[in-house]
Amino acid sequence: MTRGLCVAIVFLFLAGAPVLAGQQPATEGFVPASELPPDQQLPAAPFLIGAYAFIWLALVFYLWTIWRRLGKVEQEMRALDERQRSHAR
Partner 1 sequence: MRKLFAPLLVLTAVMFAYAPVVIANTRYESTMFLVQKIFYFHFASWMAWAAAIGVCGIASAVYLFRADPRGDRLAVAGAELAILFGAFGLVTGSLWGRKAWGVWWQWDARLTMALMAELIFVGYLLVRKYGGPGAEKLAAGMGIFGAATTPFIYKSVDWWRTIHPQTSVVRNLGETAPDMYGAMLFCTVAFLLLFASLLTVRVHLESRRAELDRLYLALEDQP
**Interaction residues for partner 1, span 9-48 (CB under 8 A):** 32-34, 42, 44-45, 47-48
Residues 23-29: contacts with CB within 8 Å, 24+ apart? none
Q: Which is nearer to partner 1, 12 or 48 (CB)?
A: 48
Cα angle 50-54-34, degrees, rounded to a multiple of 5: 30
CB of 15 to partner 1, least distance (A): 32
Q: Which amino acid is at 70?
A: L
Q: How many residues bind partner 1 (CB under 8 A)?
A: 28
Nearer to partner 1, 2 or 86 (CB): 86
Residue 41 contacts residue 33 (beta carbons within 8 Å) = yes
Binding site for partner 1 (CB under 8 A): 32-34, 42, 44-45, 47-48, 50-52, 54-55, 58-59, 62, 66, 69-70, 73-74, 76-77, 80-81, 83-84, 87
